[in-house]
Chain A
Amino acid sequence: MTDINTSAQDGREAGAVEQLARDDVERKRFLKMAGKGVGGAAIATSLGAFIAACGSSSGGSSGSTGAAAATGSTTATTTMSASSTAMSTDLQIVNYALTLEYLESEFYAKVGASGLFKGSTLKTLKLFGGEESEHVVALHKVAMSLGKPAAKPTGKFPIKSASQVAKLAASVENLGAAAYLGQAARIKSKEVLAAALSIHSIEARHAATLNLLTKQDPTPNGAFAKPMTMAQVLKVVKPFIA
């Protein structure tokens, strides 16, 4: 098949994800304001619950958020409960994506260092690894603006031969694309959704490229991509976490 070429990248602009991270300031201001005003133990409790809820999920390995338990019902908290649950779900999703991106980034770093590839293929793999690292940075920032970011996992990847690694890379990217697609409907914030969409299509580009490299169909599911649930994805990913 044709060599994969990597031509120079266009200049990158501040994107959805960076904008979202900047909103961190706005979110903190909101929290400050929400804590003032009416006063009383009830509001303080709900604010505490709000913060606790937003910081409660890490890794996103299960479907539960803890927000339901943490968000108590107190006065004037309907908005708070709704927004804290929303934020908590979004945080869970962002941390899930962050975890996957950490793993992808580590995988590509190992692949790049393996000595198994050269020329334009190596260039492409390094390009993709760099992009996954950018996803890590951005998603980490977004997670910080929502609460507590997931911890970096330790991955373990079999690196045996060029053909085995290329196939694994293709699987990983196809999985990543399906993972983002599987969360799109669950994301509450339009900004987080825009950021997720801007990453989802990158994973798709990576997946198609690696499918071609490994002589597979660039659209293995035909005209409509297939989403995967968090549970399905994490099941596939589990063997790659040390």
Chain B
Amino acid sequence: MTTHDPISPELGAVEVHGVTRASFLLKGALGAGALLGASAVTPFVSNALAASASSDIDILNFALTLEYLETDFYQSKAKQIGLSGEAKTYAKSFGEEEAAHVAALTKAIKAAGGRPVKKPTFSFPVHDQKSFLKLAYTLENVGVGAYNGAGPSLKSKQLLVAAGEIVQIEARHAATVAVITGESITPHGAFDKPLTTKQVLAKAGPLIKG
């Protein structure tokens, strides 16, 4: 695999307008998640979401939490299990890519005057390569849904492009895992489904220990 500059130019140059809020731990975000989840009735975009308390920094921190989760999964959990073959190869390169997402999002949040969430502790209930890959599939697809769900709410166009640059990678990861495991490459068919914060937390929340 070739190495690339890990920092996306858009995230590096971001300027976030509007109110800057202190970031909050993901558990605290459950309150915001409930607020955002209320807009699930119009899942694709809702004016409520756009006008909600969710700032760009909140969205970035939400994304950062997921990227921390994926990085930990591909780097720590994979090592713990001991993978082989393609699973090992891709866990390594995907882990590096998720780590680059962590670095870039952290930098962007700081540049915007916000406080990046601290790395949470995770627990992944998988014990072998097969269950590892099954969870990888779930997590990558949740990642796609999370970014697609949050994207239209971003006020900054630069951050939107950055989110787009990241979500495309999550989708590529999801497809790769699908190919090596025989899962569906396009589980939602021709159109990927955006997820609300609440929906994302339902999947990812149980994996976050503190």
Contacts and interface: CB of A to CB of B under 8 A. Distances in A.
A and B together in one complex: yes
Contact of A177 (B1, B168, B183, B185): B168
A140 interface: no
Range for the number of chain B residues in contact with chain A:
35 or more
Given A218-B176, A224-B104, A131 B186 contact: yes
Contacts of A220: 2
Given A131-B189, A201-B167, A221-B4, A208 B44 contact: no
B192 interface: yes
B44 to A, nearest CB: 4
A100 B175 CA distance: 22
A27 B164 CA distance: 28
Contact of B191 (A2, A198, A208): A198
Given A7-B183, A209-B175, A201 B144 contact: yes
Contacts of B157: 185
Given A130-B190, A181-B161, A185-B160, A200 B86 contact: no
B190 A202 contact: yes
A198 B186 CA distance: 11
B148 A201 contact: yes
A6 B184 contact: yes
Given A2-B179, A223-B4, A225-B164, A202 B191 contact: yes
Range for the number of chain A residues in contact with chain B:
35 or more
Interface of A is mostly: helix
B97 interface: yes
Contacts of A134: 189-191
B32 interface: no
Given A10-B188, A217-B1, A224 B165 contact: yes
A109 B189 CA distance: 18
Nearest 8 CB-CB pairs, A to B?
A: A222-B4, A225-B168, A223-B100, A208-B172, A204-B171, A134-B190, A190-B45, A205-B175
Given A197-B164, A204-B169, A205-B178, 12 more contacts: A5-B179, A10-B189, A12-B188, A130-B190, A190-B45, A198-B44, A202-B171, A202-B191, A204-B167, A205-B175, A209-B175, A223-B169
